[in-house]
């Protein structure tokens, strides 16, 4: 990293994987724009970064809206400096079997994951192109390989992988890399909510997941954050267009 502090933006950073990523990037020396639907929900993440001596700002935005996505990027750039890293982590689940899935279940997942990532990337890449350096890191999932009851989620997570590869080709000449991290089963509030939605206990959901994880434990948000840290670093300067499955075993 240069002597001038770079700025990272992490979407969906109020809690879970996003919060862990924001904290890790702050530890790595980045100023961090913490983005979520409501700025007040980001207070704990910003406070934790401040306590470690880092710089952070909370921004509330519906990233599926073009004006809000663009405003979020410009607000962060104005307060913290030019954006060098973008982590497209924000996401929601609306799991259901295909014949039960509503139009809204499908559309809302597409809007947040794919449209939101597109809009944030389009807004942030200008700063990276101007600087001749950038890192775009998209959070995919093992669900990109297909998952029962997740045709919407599987579609967007697979779409993010294609999006990543296209970005790597298009933006590489500007010194910008694009990579994706695909988590397996990670213990978060989202996975707890998923268990409740399908009518099983979280303990049962964890036990089911463990049968498919060779390492014998579920993932932690920090496992994903550490991988993002690598992709954001100079050590990954010649790595682009890749998808890394972080799932405790050979997935993908």
As annotated, the active-site residues are 153
Tokens, residue 7: 């700025």
Distance (Å, rounded) from C-alpha 170 to C-alpha 128? 13
CB environment 132-166: b (16+ within 10 A), e (fewer): ebbbbbbbbbbbbeeeebbbbbbbbbbbbbebbbe
Distance (Å, rounded) from C-alpha 89 to C-alpha 114? 11
Distance (Å, rounded) from C-alpha 76 to C-alpha 59? 8
Tokens, residue 72: 């979020």
How are beta strands 7-11 and 83-88 bridged, if at all? parallel
Tokens, residue 141: 């999932």
What sign does the dihedral 8-9-12-15 (CA atoms) show? positive
């Amino acid at each position: 990293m240069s002597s001038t502090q770079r700025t990272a933006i992490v979407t969906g950073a109020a809690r879970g994987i996003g919060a862990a990523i924001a904290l890790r990037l702050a530890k790595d020396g980045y100023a961090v724009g913490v983005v979520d639907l409501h700025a007040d929900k980001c207070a704990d993440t910003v406070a934790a970064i401040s306590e470690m001596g880092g710089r952070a700002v909370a921004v509330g935005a519906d990233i599926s809206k073009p004006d809000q996505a663009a405003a979020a990027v410009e607000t962060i750039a104005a307060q913290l400096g030019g954006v060098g890293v973008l982590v497209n982590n924000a996401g929601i689940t609306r799991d259901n079997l295909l014949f039960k899935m509503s139009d809204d279940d499908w559309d809302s997942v597409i809007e947040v994951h794919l449209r939101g990532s597109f809009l944030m990337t389009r807004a942030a890449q200008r700063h990276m192109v101007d600087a001749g350096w950038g890192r775009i890191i998209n959070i995919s999932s093992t669900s990109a390989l297909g998952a029962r009851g997740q045709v919407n989620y599987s579609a967007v997570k697979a779409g993010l992988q294609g999006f990543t590869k296209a970005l790597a080709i298009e933006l590489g000449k500007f010194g910008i890399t694009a990579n994706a991290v695909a988590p397996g089963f990670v213990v978060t509030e989202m996975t707890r909510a998923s268990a409740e939605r399908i009518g099983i206990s979280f303990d049962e959901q964890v036990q089911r997941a463990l049968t498919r994880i060779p390492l014998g434990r579920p993932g932690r948000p920090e496992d994903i954050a550490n991988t993002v840290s690598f992709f954001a670093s100079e050590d990954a300067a010649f790595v682009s267009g890749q998808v890394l499955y972080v799932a405790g075993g050979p997935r993908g």
